[in-house]
Amino acid sequence: MAAIGPVLERLALAAPQHFRHLAVFPLLSPAPPAPFYLTLDEALAEGQVQVTEVSKGGRVPELRLVNRGERPVLLLDGEELVGAKQNRVLNLTLLAPARSEIVIPVSCVEQGRWSETSALFDASPRVHYAAGRAAKVASVSACLAEGRGAASDQSEVWANIAGKAARMRFHPETGAMADLYRHAEQDVEAYGKAFSAAAGQAGAVFALGGRVVGLELLFSPDTFAKLLPKLIQSYALDAVEIPGDHAPLPPTDSAVSFLRQVAAAEVREFPTVGLGTTLRLQASSTVGGGLWAEEALIHLAVFRHEEQGSRTRPGMSLGMQRASRRFR
C-alpha cells in the first residue's frame, strides 16, 4: 500500500527562490537515494529507447516504446515527445522495464497535424504547462476511476491549448503547444535562469502570483535536478499570463498548508503500464497523480484544481514545521 504521508514527513521545507510571478519552495531529502533508472532524455540520447507510433496508421492516444537497455526508464507525466505524426505528452508517469516493449498512454498537443515528419519520436525540453497538466491529470484520474484506462479527454486538452493561445494573443498554425513555448521563449528562458536545484532537493512546492498551486516530488535529487528545467518552464508559461512585473512572495505557512492537504488526500492505486502502480490523489480543490514502484514513491505531482470541488475526506494532522525544519 502506497503511503504518501510518511514520505512527506521525512522532507524538509527550505527557503524559497523567487522570480517575478513564480516562487519555488525546495523540498529536501534527508537521505537521498541514487536513481536505479534512466530518465527518458538519457535513454533516448543513449539510443537505448525508441518511441514510435503503434502502427503505420497510428493511434492518437497511444505510442509504442521499446527499451533495449538493462535499466528501467522513467517517463514523467506531461513530458512531451515530438515528431512522427503529431506531438504528444505522457498521460501518466511510467517506469518502462528493462528489455521490454510497452504501449504508453498519451495525449496530442498538436491539433491540426496528422502527417509523419519522422519515424521516431525525439525528446523535447518541455512538459505540458502546469495549468494544462492539472486539467489532464484530473481527466485521466476520472477515466481510471470509471474503468476506462489512462485516457484523457482529448477535446479538453486541445481546447485548453486553444484557450491559452487566445489569452496570449497568439494563434499557432497547427495548435501546437510547442509554438506557445516558442512564442514566449524570452520570458520562459528568463524564468529558467532564475532557479536552480539545491543540494539534496528531491521536490518543490510551486506558487504563481503569490498563491501555492502545485507540488512535484521525485525519488532522487539527481532526477529532480535533471527535470527541474522542464518543470520551471511549465510554470513559467503560466506565469507569463499574470499581469504586472512581479508578485509577492507567499508565506511559508501557505506551502506547509498545501503539503498537509496533500498528505491528507485520498490515495487510490490502479494497475499501470510497466513497473509499479499508478497513484491518484483527491482532496478539496486538489488533484494529483504519481507512481509507486520498488516499494518507494518514484514520482508525485499535485495541483490546485478548483473544478474538483468537494470530493475529499478528513485528513491527518502532520504538524509540519517552518522552513529548514524536518516535518514531524
Distance of alpha carbon 94 from the chain centroid = 12
Strand ranges in the chain using DSSP code E only, listed in sequence order: 12-13, 17-19, 22-28, 38-39, 49-53, 62-67, 73-75, 79-83, 88-90, 94-96, 100-108, 121-127, 201-208, 211-218, 266-271, 277-283, 286-293, 296-304, 325-326
The whole-model pTM stands at 0.92
Mean pLDDT in order along the chain per 10 residues (328 residues): 87 97 97 94 97 96 98 98 97 98 98 93 96 97 96 97 95 88 97 97 98 98 98 98 94 96 94 97 89 96 71 28 36
pLDDT of residue 23: 98
pLDDT of residue 68: 98
Q: Identity (one letter) of the amino acid at 173? A: E
pLDDT of residue 324: 38
Spatial separation of the C-alpha atoms in residues 60 and 87, rounded to whole Å: 10
**The C-alpha cell that represents 38 in the structure block:** 534512466
pLDDT of residue 309: 36
Closest CA to 19 of 168, 210, 251, 200: 210
Residue showing cell 489532464:
136
Q: Where are the domains of the chain?
A: 4-326
3-state SS, one letter per residue, for 95-121: EECCCEEEEEEEEECECCCCCCCCCCE
Neighbouring C-alpha atoms within 13 Å toward the C-beta of 183: 20
Spatial separation of the C-alpha atoms in residues 267 and 8, rounded to whole Å: 14
Sign of CA dihedral 309, 313, 317, 323: negative
